[in-house]
Amino acid sequence: MLRRSLSRLCAGEEKRVGTRTVVVGHRPVLETDAYVAQKFCDNRIVSSKYTLWNFLPKNLFEQFRRIANFYFLIIFLVQVIVDTPTSPVTSGLPLFFVITVTAIKQGYEDWLRHRADNEVNKSNVFIVENAKQVRKESEKIKVGDIVEVKADETFPCDLIFLASSSTDGTCYVTTASLDGESNFKTHYAVRDTTVLCTDEAIDTLTATIECEQPQPDLYKFVGRIIIYRSNQEPVARSLGPENLLLKGATLKNTKKIYGVAVYTGMETKMALNYQGKSQKRSAVEKSINAFLIVYLCILLSKATVCTTLKYVWQSNPFNDEPWYNEKTKKERETFKVLRMFTDFLSFMVLFNFIIPVSMYVTVEMQKFLGSFFISWDKEMYDEEIKEGALVNTSDLNEELGQVEYVFTDKTGTLTENSMEFIECCIDGHKYKDCISEVDGFSQTDGPLKYYGKAEKSREELFLRALCLCHTVQIKEADQVDGLMGQPERKYTYISSSPDEIALVKGAEKYGFTFLGLENDFMKIRNQKNETEMYQLLHVLNFDPVRRRMSVIVRTTTGKLLLFCKGADSSIFPRVQQEEIQQTKVHVDRNAMDGYRTLCVAFKELTQKEYDKIDKQLNEAKMALQDREEKMAKVFEDTEADMHLIGATAVEDRLFQTSTELLELTARTVGDSERKEDRLHELLMEYHKKLIQDVPKSRGGLKRSWTLTQEYGLIIDGSTLSLILNPSQDSGSSNYKNIFLQICLKCAAVLCCRMAPLQKAQIVRMVKNTKGSPITLSIGDGANDVSMILEAHVGIGIKGKEGRQASRNSDYAVPKFKHLRKLLLAHGHLYYVRIAHLVQYFFYKNLCFILPQFLYQFFCGFSQQPLYDAAYLTMYNICFTSLPILAYSLLEQHINIDTLTSDPQLYMKVSDNAMLQWRPFLYWTFLGAFEGLVFFFGVYFLFQNSSLEDNGKVFGNWTFGTIVFTVLVFTVTLKLALDTRFWTWMNHFVIWGSLAFYVFFSFFWGGVIWPFLKQQRMYFVFAHMLTSVSTWLAIILLIFISLFPEILLIVFKSMKEKSHQTDPFDLPMLVSYKRIENGYVKNEDAVTNLAERYPLRIL
């Protein structure tokens, strides 16, 4: 019987997959075969990666997946297994240092996550069991438990809202911790359980809930509840997002609520939203990998050359086995191929320090520590919201300095998202100014000069539509901190959308006031101060695809009305065509003035039509599979054949310091039978004007920037869909390519009324063009998340549309104006710093290893190390690491004010200019030159057989120590020459590192270390410095090594003084590398261009 009843309730429901059944309060229905018990996860939140037992193996596995770490592990194992010239400590200790530092950092971060998890999991909650409240830890909540939550408490899991202390079964919730929205959201209890507002009453409920399996979308939920009563048919009610209270949200302005747990622990929507995010890689990382391959080839070449020359050298029997160093029997019996392979590995070990393993740790520390400068920037702090900039990922800091194309949302990003009702149009008549009576000021659009007005009944119908077609709630002003109304009112309008509040306030200006919703009846006060009641039957909610919303209401006389408001592109196709033109003039004019426009329509329903709609809506709401598609189909059928009443204009003010607006030209694609034909004509016309008719430049010019050739493009979402998704029979497969070429030639492209997916498509289209330009997307709403994730760099605005954009972004800023400093100052400096860091690491390691390679030519390729093992180990860890780290954090080669005021400087480092092959080769040749100077300078010094007064000679370890001393001082002083912005920290680490090297050398050579087999460095450094010749040689070699750099600095300084170049001689919109002509000669005009177009904006 029960199954037959359920079948009738859910008629037509296909076999369901991917659903779960929850038994409310764990009280099964009488017929236990009506459900199948399912196992669910507990309510523990686990955000940590490691446990005490798996930390070591899991962390080591993850770290050795990195190529550089794995390479040094192999080198270390070779040193342990094979008889190599250097101790395994020389590569093992740096590797251990890198692994340990990374493990400590990751372990500490994971410990913080464990601590945060425990705070949540061990918090106390109240569960109703046997009509009593039972206190439990949050982690012990099970699916099906009835949970009581009190005011200002957060929901411990995802709950279906059953009842509250409010008689109307509503509660108010803030979801700031989920999507950042601080305004209140109204949630509704299941209609049949609203009276169960005590522990005893709620414990009597017998029901089951069928719903979808967990999924991360915060705004989607599909389910139904089946309530069983004794001696009655079971009642089924649909469940949607308005019935679901999410874990992490906070209960406000409601004493308490009861809810049943449906998703717990790691299956809650909050937990699913924080699991996994696509990894973005910067262009610098790709350059590092390319440079590593080059240096790996150099390493292999060196090892191959030395191995070959060793056996050429040993082809002479006297060289192979001199009388004083005869081979052992084992050495003679070893296969020659095996000996060659072993020697090759030994040379690889000897030269392996050319690969800078410590660079990865330094880069990671630079990115992590450098990201704090964005957060600490006081100029990017907003007093209004009391927040500053936020860095969600530090891996892309340098990418901020490489952006070529900016994709920006308008509402809330370029504008304040603070809506003000400006005017409205009723049947083509414009109504403006704040008046209390509707038959006051009215003006007719068009050439007529007299004043007129619409019919009284149409005016009232329009204003009633504004008062009824919305989801605004009313609360006392002193109780709610949502979006406030006017100070003199005793109530406050609350809505998730500022547009709706602006429209309700607009209706109030003209005499119709919305008084609230009570027991499904909407109350309004008309111009005659009379209260009108309308029963709210259905709300057809707004969504970004439909771009409209509707309500169905019943008047006190029984008349059924549907009111609809939405974008003109969404409303016009659904109303009588003869009604459009008079309103369209008004809408187009307001749109050109920069106002947000909405069209308002209505339809009167018969009882028969309403019954059909009501049945279809209820059936669609009860569906567990494809509910959204079924609802959309009903909405589409319902919102047809309407009558257009008028339109509204709302102003969303621009931020005062937003980028200057571009003046764009536009053409409209009409509603002809074949839009593709007109689209084809326009695309070909624009393509001819912008590309074919423009003379080509010698440098592959993207765009010739002259004052007479500034173009912009405006396109709407429907036309864009024809381009991005053309019909197969239209022969328009090349539309996308033509459109892209036109976009790249425009100063700005404005896309109107776009779906979120289209935003991402546009970003992807430009991102995948030839040359892979770096793209940046910035927005403030949930509809911007797709393009933020698609772009190379995603910026979120902490706006009024919630925090989903900022939470999914790489960086978040309070206002659009902060983007200027983020890119032009922070981005520029981050890129220059890290580019110098990378090049410097390869340079100093080449200086380090080249003398070791040259030394083999003078020691019979015997794999004799030039440097002591302690120097090999500590060169990258201690002697040269801190100066470059300080430089990469603090350097400002150009003043920040200059950077923000001159966008040309930003473009000079675009296209990864400092990590191209040309500067890489410069650094490589510089390192090779200095390495040659170090080695041969000391070699010629040692041509004198005696360097001491007493006739004693220096040995090979003294030779290596002199080379190493010149090396350390030269590479450190080279960094000092490159430093333009000196702080006490730069002085401390540069001079401190040199002092530490001298101190360590005295200390290391001044003590007999019991754990060393050989005391080969004992007193070597101190003894070396007793020679005047050595002192002179060290100073002279340092000067010779740095002399080219000093000459270059002097030459640049003289050139800057003698040639005062025009700072604005290059266009601002594309990389300076690609432009050779087409410059604007007027200095003032170019200055204006530089200020207006620092980047391409799409």
Beta-strand relationship, 775-779 and 793-797? parallel
H or E element in which residue 740 lies:
helix 735-745
Distance between CA atoms of 500 and 473, rounded to whole angstroms? 10
Distances in Å between the Cα of 181 and the Cα atoms of 62, 162, 174, 177 are 37, 24, 7, 8
Distance between CA atoms of 311 and 769, rounded to whole angstroms? 52
Find, among 743, 735, 754, the residue nearest to 683 by Cα: 735
Amino acid at 168: D
1002: its two tokens = 């005295």
Catalytic residue among 409, 427, 784, 810: 409
Give residue 683's Cα distance to chain centre.
33
Name the 3-class secondary structure at 223.
Answer: strand
300-332 burial: b if 16+ Cβ within 10 Å, else e: eebbeebbeebeeeeeeeeeeeeeeeeeeeeee
Query: How many H helices and E strands in the chain?
Result: 36, 33
146: its two tokens = 């009835």
Whether residue 626 lies in the annotated active site? no
Name the 3-class secondary structure at 662.
Answer: coil
Name the 3-class secondary structure at 381.
Answer: coil
Find, among 355, 302, 346, 353, the residue nearest to 68 by Cα: 355
Beta-strand relationship, 235-239 and 223-227? antiparallel
What is the layout of strands, in order, in the sheet containing 181-188? 181-188, 170-175, 250-252
Quick one: the chain helix, strand, coil %, rounded to 5?
45, 20, 35
Amino acid at 31: E
Find, among 48, 75, 51, 65, the residue nearest to 99 by Cα: 65
Non-local CB neighbours of 552 within 8 Å, separated by 6+ positions: 536, 537, 538, 540, 560, 561, 562, 605, 610, 613, 638
Find, among 473, 790, 808, 584, the residue nearest to 798 by Cα: 808
Find, among 109, 727, 804, the residue nearest to 409 by Cα: 804
Find, among 402, 424, 453, 346, the residue nearest to 90 by Cα: 346
Distance between CA atoms of 166 and 964, rounded to whole angstroms? 80
Are 937 and 1033 in contact by the 8 Å Cβ rule? The answer is yes
Q: What are phi and psi of 184, to 5 degrees?
A: -80, 145
Distance between CA atoms of 806 and 788, rounded to whole angstroms? 9
411-450 burial: b if 16+ Cβ within 10 Å, else e: bbbbbbbebebbbbbbbbbbbeeeeeebeeebbbbeeeee
Name the 3-class secondary structure at 210.
Answer: strand
For residue 925, how many other CB atoms are within 10 A of its CB?
A: 12
Distance between CA atoms of 192 and 180, rounded to whole angstroms? 32
Distance between CA atoms of 356 and 843, rounded to whole angstroms? 10
Strands (E), 336-485: 390-391, 405-408, 415-426, 429-432, 443-444, 473-476
- Positions marked active-site: 409
